[in-house]
Amino acid sequence: MIWQYEKLRTHAQKIMGWVESQQNKVKFGGIRQHANAMWNNMSSGEKLAAGIIALNTIVFAAWRVPALESVMIKYFSSSPVSGASSLSMLLSTFSHYSLLHYAANMYVLWSFSTVMGSVLGKEQMLGFYLSAGVISSFTSYCFKIIKKSARPSIGASGAIIALLGATCITFPNSKLQIAFIGDIIPHSFTADSAMKAILIFDSFGLLFGWKLFDHAAHLGGMLFGIWYMKYGRELIWENREPVMRLWHKLRGKPSQ
């Protein structure tokens, strides 16, 4: 919500400071024009997703630098016994070591970015995404402490499954299909069915101790996504006006 306020403030400053601004600058270079056209054609959700994917790509590349290994393990893998357990709950959300893990998560993020960007707006979507990442990591921590496990976790899966859960609870009758398989074996299922299947799968994974995924993080992310769209959005985002009013008072009037 602070980001949204600062955007509005910046627009106000431009309006007051620039009565007449220079327009219609000619931009040279085919690549730049093509890139600008692609960016302008993106939805607000896709633009946010592009930024998140860029950060994930940088972190993915950083794992390949041997000199950064100790930093990556400490700050970009989440474990309750790591040297930076609080900060790594957030930073691990942008961290992938496996190319398949990275590609799958970024594909799903991009796939749902437009619909959730239109529902939440990019400011709320970013706040939702970051909160989901931290909460899913915290859920994973709780389970690891109970199981006395120090096994680290990385990946955006918790945040992305929260995004999936938010989509499924908002549009339960929407038709989904598994990426790429639908081109070979035609199939579809409702978003509500997908949500229930993921909840059941990760519950069994937690119960039987499967180690293929961080099932606790997945469950935490999915449940947060469902809770936020049913209750949290109204409780938090719809009541942001007092916070923005206080922030405006602290910031003062925009300078001309």
pLDDT digits (tens, 9 = 90+) for 61-88: 999 999 999 999 989 988 887 777 788 8
Alpha helices, DSSP H only, in 63-121?
Answer: 69-75, 85-91, 99-120
| C-alpha to C-alpha distance for 26 and 24, rounded to whole angstroms | 6
The yes-or-no verdict on residue 21 having pLDDT over 70 is no
pLDDT band at 236 (very low <50, low <70, confident <90, very high): confident
Inform me whether the pLDDT recorded for 189 exceeds 60.
yes
179 — pLDDT class (breaks 50, 70, 90): confident
| Residue whose pair of structure tokens reads 């910046």 in the numeric block | 10
Across the range 178-204, mean pLDDT stands at 83
pLDDT at 91 over 80: yes
Q: Which of 153, 157, 188, 203 is catalytic?
A: 157
For the segment 196-213, the average pLDDT, to the nearest whole number, is: 89
Per-residue model confidence (pLDDT) at position 22: 47
Mean pLDDT value across residues 150-165: 90
Q: To the nearest whole number, what is the mean pLDDT of the chain?
A: 83
Q: Of the residues 85, 218, 248, 255, which is catalytic? A: 218
pLDDT of residue 27: 47
Please answer whether residues 21 and 95 qualify as being in contact, where contact means their C-beta atoms are separated by less than 8 angstroms. Answer: no
pLDDT above 80 for 6:
no
pLDDT confidence of residue 182: 63
215 is catalytic: no
Q: Which helix (H) or strand (E) holds 11?
A: helix 2-17
* Residue 1 confidence (pLDDT) above 80: no
Q: Any catalytic annotation for residue 101? A: no
pLDDT over threshold 80, residue 10: no
Q: Are 255 and 13 in contact (CB under 8 A)?
A: yes
Q: What does the pLDDT read at residue 107?
A: 92
Q: What kind and span of H or E run contains 47?
A: helix 44-62
The closest of 1, 247, 230 to 124, measured between CA atoms, is 1
